[in-house]
Amino acid sequence: MRLTHWIDGDSREAASGRWLEVFDPSTARPFAEVARGDAGDVETAIAAAQRALPAWSSLPTTERARWMEKLADALEANLDDFVHAESRDGGKPIRLAREVEIPRAVSNLRFFAHAATQFASESHHGQAGLNYTLRAPLGVVATISPWNLPLYLFTWKIAPALAAGNTVVAKPSEVTPVTATMLGELAARIGFPRGVLNIVHGLGPEVGEPLVTHPAVKAVSFTGSTAVGKRIATLAAPLLKKVSLELGGKNPTLVFADSDWRAQLDTIVRSAFQNSGQICLCGSRILVERRIYSEFRDALVERALALRVGDPIDEDNNLGPLVSQAHFDKVTAALARARDEGGRVLCGGNALDRPGWFVAPTVIEGLGPDCASNREEIFGPVATLQAFDCDEEAVALANAGDYGLAASVWTRDLDRAHRVAAQLRTGMVWINTWLMRDLRTPFGGTGASGLGREGGMEAMRFFTEPKNVGIAI
């Protein structure tokens, strides 16, 4: 299978004629090739987006919404193909792809189709007269997305950009390029206006950087690692470009003794290990009140041991492999480092003895807040346990480190829940739940977890330029 760019409504090979291999993580074998784009391909895509801009940006919002609904319908009608493709490309458990990720991609398109028609500008009437704010599209914008939730995050970015009237050049991850390519093909098949959504594949430095620095690109919406986010910020800053950065996390899970943790253990386990820990929101640092520590630890380890790891296409498996050789090497090196730091591995801690990039769900105790294992994102099926004695200590442990994406708090004490939520230095807090999403809410993190927020009207505002008009009355 050869995966091409989609530019100006057409399938295009890289002008250089070069390709990159795409691997099946459950066998570690290549199964496809993807176009290895470069600055020339980026230029071609941006030119197409520029040509498409006047017509798309001046369409009535209801018409733009109609196109996005049409794309959502087409995606939904082909759900099964996308589910299988996502599962194979990313090693993703097929149930996760079917029940969460591809349906969520459909919802992203629908949600922002509606947002386009509901997005109202502000007006202020006072002694100074009447002020109203126009919100025009920015123009051509770039989106750069990662491999962990490939189509889910790809659509989470292109949908608000398109809804707000921009045209887009999108760069999916070279590690998982299949479903974005399929979406490009689907868009062409339903006659989506040419040049409005362009997809260019390739490596970050060869495609991502020319996109970020191109003068015609007015904003960059990026989700990925903190290191690449910093690189993009450095490139964009002197060009005074708008950037939104959704980066890594090292999220705390705070389990208080008064919580109903036994009943909630399934969700807590899911929060640590879903998608083999390859979700930026996974709770990888589990902080437990000392009074219940031993009991909780034993129950957690028992559940972790019961998780079925194996072929992602098998409906009965809970976890699949890690996404790539490079990522597998990173996670297994982190396991070795945890042992060197003095961590006690309670379960897992090793790769599975089979082809593919499988790592057993791992729980580690005995590491303090200053260890690299508790400070650096591992992004694998690895959770650490730390004990605390009081709320203050729990909050201090939770806030230790540079990241600030999400946290979950498990308690039946309402006062404590609100107090602790307010004290956590994260962009999102869940109480007695995890990954509960309402697409209208601000999504994103602080510190090393990023800059700006996505979701709802935050995203619509990001992808538009406000212009205030004041009239003397």
Catalytic (active-site) positions: 246
- Name 128's Cβ contacts closer than 8 Å, sequence gap at least 6: 470
R_g of the chain computed on alpha carbons: 23
Q: Kindly tell me which of 174 and 365 has the beta carbon lying closer to ligand NAD.
A: 174
Output the smallest distance, CB 201 to ligand NAD, in A.
9
Which of 41, 101, 246, 458 is close enough to bind ligand NAD by CB under 6 A? 246
Position 384 contacts ligand NAD (CB under 6 A) = no
Closest C-alpha among 305, 318, 333 to residue 277: 318
Report the distance separating Cα 421 and Cα 438, nearest Å.
18
CA angle, 275 then 279 then 282, to 5°:
100
Closest C-alpha among 307, 302, 298, 299 to residue 352: 307
Position 405 contacts ligand NAD (CB under 6 A) = yes
Closest C-alpha among 90, 91, 210, 109 to residue 156: 109
Output the smallest distance, CB 386 to ligand NAD, in A.
21
Q: Kindly tell me which of 101 and 365 has the beta carbon lying closer to ligand NAD.
A: 101
Choose the stretch contacting ligand NAD; rule: CB under 6 A; options: 204-212, 330-338, 362-370, 459-467.
204-212
**Residue list 150-169, contact with ligand NAD (CB under 6 A):** 153
Output the smallest distance, CB 406 to ligand NAD, in A.
9
Which of 8, 41, 209, 289 is close enough to bind ligand NAD by CB under 6 A? 209
Q: Kindly tell me which of 119 and 222 has the beta carbon lying closer to ligand NAD.
A: 222
Position 191 contacts ligand NAD (CB under 6 A) = no
Position 225 contacts ligand NAD (CB under 6 A) = yes
Which of 25, 37, 90, 146 is close enough to bind ligand NAD by CB under 6 A? 146
Output the smallest distance, CB 17 to ligand NAD, in A.
20
Choose the stretch contacting ligand NAD; rule: CB under 6 A; options: 241-249, 301-309, 312-320, 413-421.
241-249
The 10 Å Cβ neighbour count of residue 189 is: 10
Report the distance separating Cα 125 and Cα 131, nearest Å.
6
Which of 87, 155, 179, 223 is close enough to bind ligand NAD by CB under 6 A? 223
**Residue list 410-449, contact with ligand NAD (CB under 6 A):** 445, 449
For residue 159, give the amino acid letter: A
**Polymer length of the chain:** 473
Output the smallest distance, CB 283 to ligand NAD, in A.
13
Which of 141, 219, 232, 322 is close enough to bind ligand NAD by CB under 6 A? 232
Output the smallest distance, CB 219 to ligand NAD, in A.
14
Q: Kindly tell me which of 247 and 387 has the beta carbon lying closer to ligand NAD.
A: 247
Q: Kindly tell me which of 199 and 417 has the beta carbon lying closer to ligand NAD.
A: 199
Output the smallest distance, CB 335 to ligand NAD, in A.
18
Position 231 contacts ligand NAD (CB under 6 A) = yes
Report the distance separating Cα 237 and Cα 217, nearest Å.
13
Report the distance separating Cα 68 and Cα 444, nearest Å.
24
Which of 23, 112, 147, 273 is close enough to bind ligand NAD by CB under 6 A? 147
Q: Kindly tell me which of 225 and 432 has the beta carbon lying closer to ligand NAD.
A: 225
Position 249 contacts ligand NAD (CB under 6 A) = yes
The 10 Å Cβ neighbour count of residue 129 is: 11
Position 280 contacts ligand NAD (CB under 6 A) = yes
Position 143 contacts ligand NAD (CB under 6 A) = no
Output the smallest distance, CB 210 to ligand NAD, in A.
9
Report the distance separating Cα 268 and Cα 253, nearest Å.
8
Position 247 contacts ligand NAD (CB under 6 A) = yes
Output the smallest distance, CB 381 to ligand NAD, in A.
14
Q: Kindly tell me which of 232 and 288 has the beta carbon lying closer to ligand NAD.
A: 232
For residue 30, give the amino acid letter: P
Centroid of chain to Cα 258: 32
Which of 208, 277, 356, 452 is close enough to bind ligand NAD by CB under 6 A? 208
Position 148 contacts ligand NAD (CB under 6 A) = yes
Per CB under 6 A, residues contacting ligand NAD are: 144-148, 153, 171, 173-174, 204-205, 208-209, 212, 223-225, 228, 231-232, 246-249, 280, 377, 379, 405, 445, 449-450
